[in-house]
Amino acid sequence: MLKLRWLLGVLLTGALSQGTAAAVLSCTADPSSSVERVLRGVVGGEPVPAGFSVTYTESQPPHASLSLSIHADGTVAQQAVGEPVGQPRAVTPWEWRKLAALIVVRKLWQQQTPERAPGNDEGRATLTLRCGDQSSEVWEWQGDLVKNRRLIQVREAMKKAAWTP
């Protein structure tokens, strides 16, 4: 945990000290704006471009499911079945920047879990990063979330940013 905090601090400090980029990030006007490029720009101080969103979905059939989305303008959308949710609130640009830094540090646009057939009642957690027509989706098996410490960290960061304390 200390290593991740240190990396986030270094990433944020370095990116913010470089100033803002000359080009404004866009999800619609610039087809070369990859999800990774947009996230790095947000960490560097650029505003989150319209059309960008982060969605975490967790499904543990047949018991529970959660879908939590944070959109570029800070709005939050959520759906849950059998899962407690918080009162949604607007996500600030600073919270967006922290979330983007976590995603960049963990390279959460890269799939690491290998494909296999699911076990009985085994669900998946999915993180979808969307920028206009482009998207990146990674997933992990429900039972591996704590062990892997990738998607579970983003889930907790999203809950913290999106829900009223």
Q: What is the pLDDT of residues 18-59, one digit of tens each?
A: 444 445 677 765 555 588 999 999 999 999 999 999 999 998
Q: Is residue 43 situated within a structural domain?
A: yes
Q: What is the pLDDT of residue 119?
A: 75
Whether 25 is covered by a domain: the verdict is: no
Tally the domains of the chain. 1
* Residue 4 resides in a domain: no
Tens digit of pLDDT for each residue in 55-88?
999 987 677 889 999 999 999 999 998 888 999 9
**Which residues constitute the domain of residue 39?**
31-112+124-162
At residue 24, φ and ψ (nearest 5 deg) are -85, 135
Taking the complete model, does pTM exceed 0.75, yes or no? yes
- pLDDT, residue 84, reads 86
In the chain, the percentage of residues whose pLDDT exceeds 90 is 55
149 within domain boundaries: yes
- Cβ–Cβ under 8 Å, residues 58 and 123: yes
pLDDT at position 15: 46
Domain for residue 35, yes or no?
A: yes
In a domain, 15, yes or no: no
Radius of gyration of the chain (CA): 16
From CA 139, how far away is CA 11, in angstroms rounded?
25
- Whether residue 138 lies inside any domain: the answer is yes
Q: Which helix (H) or strand (E) holds 80?
A: strand 76-81
- Rounded CA gap, 115 and 141, in Å? 10
Residue 118 belongs to a domain? no
